[in-house]
Amino acid sequence: MPSDQERMLARAAREIRPGQIVNLGIGLPTRLFHYMPEDLEVLVHSENGVLGCQPLGRDAAPDYEMIDSGGAYIGTRPGASVFDSALSFAMIRRSRVDVTFMGAFEVDEQGNLANWKIPGKFSPGIGGAMELAQKVEKLVVLCSHNDKHGNPKILKQCRLPLTAPRCVSLIVTEKAVMEVTERGLEVIDIAEGLDVESLRAATEAELIIDESRLGRF
Amino acid sequence: MTLLNQKYTSAEDAIAMIPDGASIMVGGFGSPGTPFALLEELLAQGQKGLTLIKNDANEPDIGIGRLIRAGRVDRLITSHIGLNRVAIEEMNQGRLAVEMYPQGLLAEKIRCAGAGHLGFLTDIGLETEIAQQRRELELNGRKCAIEPAITADFALIHADVADTYGNLAYRGTAINFNPLMAMAADKVIAQAFRVESPGGLKPEAIHTPCAFVNHVVQVDPATSEQGIRAHAV
């Protein structure tokens, strides 16, 4: 039986298309490396200045000058390049990165995202999140459906300071896969064994659900 | 400008030029590219009241983390300090003034200073909290914000290879902020694992031309802090 996170990662990995340039956020999204088929031809961008990174093989000795933005030692695949931080963010702001995955504290019906600051509690800085969120065409949020107290994280309107407005394309939680549309949040897939009523009860946002077309994951 | 044939020096002599209260750009994203040996010398010499400009705060016991811990830094201009709980605590206690920018804007503010500009216009962060501190205007019908360039008195740079004229070549993800800062600060001190005679680096292999670099210091990768950093995979 796969864990919730494993199911989310496997589902999220299906959003990556051959030929794309992909950015994996710190934390859970970094693990997507291990969920992409080996023959999938993509270049993983890391904002500290590398395009084409890949996990270090288990027996490979780390090169101390090769890390990803999460601080893990990495290797590179054929076709990779390294560059300075201004160029790395030029690539992001010019929308040359096709898809990015990141975590969230809150997401709402308009696709607003809050994932960098909880005033008074957590403010280590913005890092690359704001520019990735604003400029990458497809932003997939990977987060738990509720916080550790059970409160919904998928809201009608974000309450925390925004990372960027109207930037999220798709939300993948352990309970559902939701697409941000002009009409609101449309549920595409629902977790195996979960009913629609329970999903609605765990969510503050209004959910658009067509049960005849609902996928399972 | 320092004469070409007088740039190659010791860490001790180079760092001794930095006075109390100086503003200093420090290369590096996490550990790679952080000029650990120069920072060690700065710690040893005791300059205080410093303003540091670095992408992050390293970790509590390495790099600028040690300067912050020793109370030598008044102000930090940065992007993310999540790996340094001491810096976060100092910030929360009001002992360290921290100014934070989105990472790409920080890089661009530095790049811009290095290109001799006063600032640039951007649409990043327009509808977010960071907009409150900026002047906005309209250009060709689009709303944008002014981001002033950032300069500094000094930059401490880590390169892989240098020559004695001060030409620099970086390696891997240790490039990051280094070439940008090397152009943006008034006086630039670079450390390198290897320092060649002029001609030892191919012209097209040079990332930062020597015109931007004042002092070059050779550091030993085996004995510097460079060897003990960071994270498991």
Q: What is the ipTM, given to two decimal places?
A: 0.96
In chain B, whose CA is at the least distance from the CA of A64? B32
Residue count (chain B):
233
Interchain CB distance below 8 Å, B107 and A82: no
Classify residue B228: in a domain, yes or no: no
CB B127 within 8 A of CB A162: yes
Asked if residue A10 lies in contact with residue A53, where contact means CB atoms within 8 angstroms, the answer is no
- C-alpha distances (whole Å) from B133 to each of B107, B111, B125, B145, B146 are 18, 21, 11, 10, 10
Q: What angle do CA A142, A145, A150 make, to 5 degrees?
A: 140
Tokens for A157, please give them: 């309107």
Spell out which residues of chain B touch residue A117, defining contact as CB-CB under 8 Å: 129
Residue B147: Cβ-neighbour burial (10 angstroms; 0-12, 13-18, 19+): buried
Q: Which residues of A touch B123 (CB under 8 A)?
A: 134
How sure is the predictor about A125, in pLDDT bands with cuts at 50, 70 and 90?
Answer: very high
Report d(CA B75, CA B54) in Å as an integer. Answer: 11
Q: Where are the domains of chain A?
A: 4-216
Q: What is the mean pLDDT of residues B137-160?
A: 97
Residues 6+ apart with CB under 8 A from A117: A123, A126, A160, A161, B129
List, for residues A158-173, the tens digit of each pLDDT value: 999 999 999 999 999 9
Query: Could you tell me the CATH number of the domain that includes residue B19?
Result: 3.40.1080.10
Is B102 in contact with A126 (Cβ distance < 8 A)?
A: yes
Choose from B25, B26, B29, B111 for mutation: most chain A CBs within 10 A. Answer: B29
Cβ separation A72–B233 shorter than 8 A: yes
Q: Give the mean model confidence (pLDDT) for residues A17-30.
A: 94
Tell me whether residue B233 is in a domain: no
Q: What is the pLDDT of residue B198?
A: 96
B80: which strand partners? Answer: A125
**Rounded average pLDDT over B81-107:** 96
B112 found inside a domain: yes
B225 inside domain: no
Would you say how long chain A is, in residues?
A: 217
Q: Give the active site residue among A15, A38, A47, A174.
A: A47
Three-state secondary structure along A88-152? Answer: HHHHHHCCCCCEEEECCCEEECCCCEECCCECCCECCECCCHHHHHHHCCEEEEECCCECCCCCE
* Residue ranges in chain B assigned as alpha helix (H): 11-15, 36-45, 64-69, 85-92, 103-114, 178-184
Confidence of residue B1 (pLDDT cuts 50, 70, 90): low
Evaluate whether A11 touches A189 at the Cβ level (below 8 Å): yes
Residue to substitute from A126, A131, A157, A159, interface B, most B β-carbons within 10 A: A126
Average pLDDT over residues B103-112: 98
Q: What is the pLDDT of residue A13?
A: 97
Q: What average pLDDT does this structure show over B129-150? A: 95
A47 is catalytic: yes
How does pLDDT run across A54-110, given as a tens digit for each residue? 998 888 888 989 999 998 999 999 999 999 999 999 999 999 999 999 999 999 999
Instruction: Establish if B99 belongs to a structural domain.
Output: yes
Flag whether B75 is in a domain. Answer: yes
Residue A137 CB neighbour total at 10 angstroms: 12
d(CA B207, CA A209) in angstroms, rounded, equals 54
Residue B10 DSSP SS3: coil
Question: What is the tens place of the pLDDT at every residue in B174-220?
Answer: 999 999 999 999 999 999 999 999 999 999 999 999 999 999 999 98
Measured between alpha carbons, how far is B76 from B54 in angstroms, rounded to an integer? 8
pLDDT mean over A43-58: 94
Q: Please say whether the beta carbons of A211 and A147 come within 8 A.
A: no
CB contact under 8 A, B88 and A124: yes
Of all residues in chain B, the percent with pLDDT exceeding 90 is 91
Mutation pick from A48, A105, A121 vs chain B, by most beta carbons of B within 10 Å, is: A48
For residue B228, pLDDT over 80 is answered with: no
Distance separating the N- and C-terminal Cα atoms of chain A: 12
pLDDT of residue A58: 82
Average of pLDDT values for B22-33? Answer: 96
Which CATH number is A4-216's, of 2.60.40.1180, 3.30.365.10, 3.40.1080.10, 1.10.357.10? Answer: 3.40.1080.10
| Chain A residues touching B79 at Cβ < 8 A | 125-128
B68, part of any domain: yes
**Structural domain boundaries, residue B33:** 7-219
CB contact under 8 A, B171 and A83: no
Residue B62's closest CA among B91, B89, B26, B111? Answer: B26
E strand or H helix at A86, and its extent?
helix A85-93
Q: How far is the alpha carbon of B170 from chain A, nearest alpha carbon, in Å? A: 10
B229: in domain: no
- The count of domains in chain B is 1
How much is the pTM? Answer: 0.96
